[in-house]
Structure 1
Amino acid sequence: MKVSKSIKSKWIVLSNDHIVNLLLGCLALETIELSCFKGFSRMELRSSKLKRLNSISYNNDEEIDHSLEIVAPYLHHLETLGSLHGLKCRLVDISSMVNTKLMFDITCIKDM
């Protein structure tokens, strides 16, 4: 039986329950790449096999504040690129982090 070691998803809406089920159902994952994603507020990456998380453009099409908490004690590589659209991201227990790349858009609006 072949086991998937990576997941790449684009234009995806996942609830907190969807993320939990995905991670519990794919224990051999080493890499997760999410592109243009939204919907969940917590991601617990507690598998010692999961070493890399790439996220590109959090998609917030609503005018409300969003937050994302990432718990990742074994994660080695984190890459966040693109637009965050008001996302407040909190990293928790990233004690194994070796490499982080953060490149995101910032829009400043000056009151006239």
Structure 2
Amino acid sequence: MPDGIIPYFARDIGFALDQQDTLSTQHAVFSKSPPRQGYYVEIPGMFHINFTDAPAWTPLAQSLGLSGPLDGRRGHDIVRAYTTAFFTGHLTDGPAGLLRQPPPWPEARVETRPS
């Protein structure tokens, strides 16, 4: 195999380990937030690129392993709902109910800091 070429499966394993390290770091920061002041929303099945429009541009993104296995539109719907709930609750003093209840999507995991 030529130098610098990493087999796809090896790249995938490295990505999974790097992704777990990132999630662990993010969760550690969340766990230090003041009571009732932090939210931790995790959507397994979404890669970093899923937060862009790229998965909607081409179905090849998922086939090539550039985006996660979660459908791009569904991922955007989930992120949009949680983003709206956060800003509604914190900028307009409206209800942030979605962040304070079990997720309506099986793909999403939400934690809040207890009081």
Q: TM-score by structure 2 length?
A: 0.25
Q: Which has the higher contact order (CA 8 A, sep 6+)?
A: 2
Which of the two has higher C-alpha Rg? 2
Q: TM-score by structure 1 length?
A: 0.25
